[in-house]
């Protein structure tokens, strides 16, 4: 695919550009009957273009690319493919219609149908639709607020999105709660059962947000989850709509917080999505703080999870805004490339994490089938060294023995949950071989990670991690056995594998 830079060098060889200038629109009705309107605004300069891609779920100034006759090639990449890579797109102009397709079809799948957008005007400035016009009063100045006293160790639990997406319902949540007890997950520390997007209906005459038919009685569901010794989480966002197009909390923050508290909700994931249609990105800090204050005003302890993909250096202000955790990345996918790219990129963020406020590299994919057991052990080990929230994203009702063993490894979990609350960091790197360490209240955790395609010998001297005792206690956390003490340690680490150790002073 050509990039903008290449296109500018070869513009003289391109065919005369078709007329792309203007505002184009695509309308579709989802399975739940909700209409989704997407607007594309193109501004053409010779054979290149810039512009906006916008809808009520998000508004991003991301369009750019090249026009070659009737063909346009986006430099912008809109979606993730099956391998967790952003997908390039192309388009064909036919009069007043533009057909948009991925530049390559997903591997092993039928080519998708094109998205056909129609020109509605020659206007080249993005104009929000009437329903997206902001109605809020100016937000008060941002002022740091004290911690809420929750999440003194990284939250542990389960979230519905990775496995179930829009297919989640009351019955499934109850069965997941049951399984978290019978599989030993609850007793290993997984306490939160979090319902992600698609639970919402519309607001009643008094503005109270209602659950849809999949969740007939949220209070009764919360009571059931609580009866299992677990806690219930919910999902919303500061915009008009959630990422899936359901009603969110814009202008109803205090009302929604009271509703959730009355139901017995214990955790809120608050996803930015359509907030860009009504707020400027610079408003994020007071926008998130507004909900934090609304939650606290209910008097119910509710963990507050900021989901805004790591934008605007959230690690520097997430805690002051009232957050207990904040996403540091886009969505994870169930494959090695996505998981390893996200996980190993967390180095350098450790100073922003601690009791009550955690960096969140997204949910666990363990057990969903896209990685090997060795790769899932890397996933679990790395997230634990990162002191990351451990939120399972699989169907815990049907876990394989291997997935269950990985998820319930209490020695590894103890590293994540160590009371010192320190996030680990990379000690050194030699190509695809990385050694990470995490300070503990009684020693240090060490991860020997092999990201290469072949087994590799890896070695570490305990003095590198500050252990100078002649006979330190060394424990292999996957093999569950003590290792003979020595001044250093050498192991053969499998491809896409890890050796995880705890060294006690």
Q: List, by residue number, the catalytic residues.
A: 271, 331
DSSP state of 333: -
Give the SS3 label for residue 424.
coil
Q: Are 160 and 199 contacting, i.e. CB atoms less than 8 angstroms apart?
A: no
Rounded to an integer, what distance in angstroms lies between the CA atom of residue 305 and that of residue 267? 8
For 26-63, b/e burial (b = at least 16 CB within 10 A) is beeeeeeeeeeebbbbbbbeebbbbbbbbbbbbbeebb
Six token digits for residue 6: 């290449």
Q: CB of 228 within 8 A of CB of 177?
A: yes
CB neighbourhood size of 213 (10 A): 9
221 CB-side CA count, 13 A: 26
> CA angle, corner 164, sides to 389 and 78, nearest 5?
80
Instruction: Please tell me what DSSP assigns to residue 413.
Output: H
For the four alpha carbons of 36, 260, 155 and 152, in that order, the dihedral sign comes to positive
Which runs of consecutive H residues, i.e. helices, occur in 318-416?
Answer: 336-344, 373-385, 401-407, 410-416
Helices (H) and strands (E) in the chain, counts: 11, 26
Q: What is the C-alpha separation between 144 and 76, in angstroms, rounded?
A: 36
How close are the terminal C-alpha atoms of the chain, in Å?
54
CA geometry: angle 231, 237, 241, nearest 5 deg: 125
Q: Which is it for strands 488-493 and 433-440: parallel, antiparallel or unpaired?
A: unpaired
Nearest of 299, 316, 280, 242 to residue 139 by alpha carbon: 280
Query: At which residue do the structure tokens 């320190």 appear?
Result: 422
Q: CA 78, CA 491: separation in Å to the nearest integer?
A: 42
In the chain, how long is the greatest CA-to-CA distance? 78
């Amino acid at each position: 695919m050509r990039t903008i830079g290449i296109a500018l060098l070869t513009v003289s060889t391109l065919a005369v550009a078709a007329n792309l200038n203007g505002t184009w629109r695509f309308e579709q009705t989802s399975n739940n009957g909700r209409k989704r309107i997407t607007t594309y605004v193109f501004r053409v300069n010779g054979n290149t273009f810039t512009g906006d891609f916008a809808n009520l779920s998000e508004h991003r100034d991301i369009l750019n690319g090249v026009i070659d006759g009737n063909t346009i090639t986006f430099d912008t990449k809109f979606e993730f493919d099956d391998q967790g890579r952003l997908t390039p797109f192309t388009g064909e102009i036919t009069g007043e219609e533009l057909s948009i397709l991925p530049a390559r079809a997903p591997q092993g799948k039928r080519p998708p149908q094109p998205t056909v957008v129609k020109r509605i005007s020659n206007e080249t400035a993005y104009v929000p639709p009437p329903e997206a016009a902001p109605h809020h009063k100016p937000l008060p100045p941002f002022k740091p607020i004290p911690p809420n006293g929750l999440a003194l160790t990284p939250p542990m639990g389960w979230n519905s999105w990775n496995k179930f997406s829009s297919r989640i319902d009351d019955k499934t949540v109850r069965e997941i709660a049951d399984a978290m007890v019978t599989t030993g997950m609850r007793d290993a520390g997984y306490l939160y059962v979090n319902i992600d997007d698609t639970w919402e209906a519309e607001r009643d005459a008094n503005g109270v947000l209602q659950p849809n038919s999949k969740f007939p009685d949220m209070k009764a569901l919360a009571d059931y989850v609580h009866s299992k010794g677990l806690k219930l989480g919910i999902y919303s966002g500061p915009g008009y709509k959630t990422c899936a197009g359901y009603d969110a909390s814009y202008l109803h923050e205090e009302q929604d917080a009271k509703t959730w508290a009355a139901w017995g909700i214990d955790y809120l994931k608050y996803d930015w999505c359509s907030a860009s249609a009504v707020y400027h990105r610079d408003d994020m800090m007071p926008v998130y703080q507004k909900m934090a204050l609304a939650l606290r005003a209910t008097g119910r302890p509710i963990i507050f999870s900021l989901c805004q993909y790591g934008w605007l250096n959230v690690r520097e202000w997430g805690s002051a805004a009232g957050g207990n955790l904040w996403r540091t990345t886009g969505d994870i996918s169930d494959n090695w490339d996505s998981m390893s790219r996200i996980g190993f990129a967390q180095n350098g963020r450790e100073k922003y994490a601690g009791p009550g406020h955690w960096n969140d590299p997204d949910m666990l994919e363990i057990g969903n089938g896209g990685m090997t057991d060795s790769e899932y052990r890397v996933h679990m080990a790395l997230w634990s060294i990162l002191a990351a929230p451990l939120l399972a994203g699989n169907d815990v009702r049907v876990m394989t023995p291997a997935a269950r063993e990985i998820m319930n490894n209490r020695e590894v979990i103890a590293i994540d949950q160590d009371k010192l609350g320190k996030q680990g960091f990379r000690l050194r790197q030699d190509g695809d071989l990385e050694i990470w360490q995490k300070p503990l209240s009684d020693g240090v955790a060490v991860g020997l990670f092999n990201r290469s395609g072949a087994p590799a010998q890896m070695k570490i001297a305990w003095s590198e991690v500050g252990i100078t005792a002649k006979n330190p206690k060394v424990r292999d956390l996957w093999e569950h056995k003590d290792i003979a003490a020595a001044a250093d340690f050498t192991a053969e680490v499998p491809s896409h594998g890890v050796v995880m150790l705890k060294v006690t002073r």
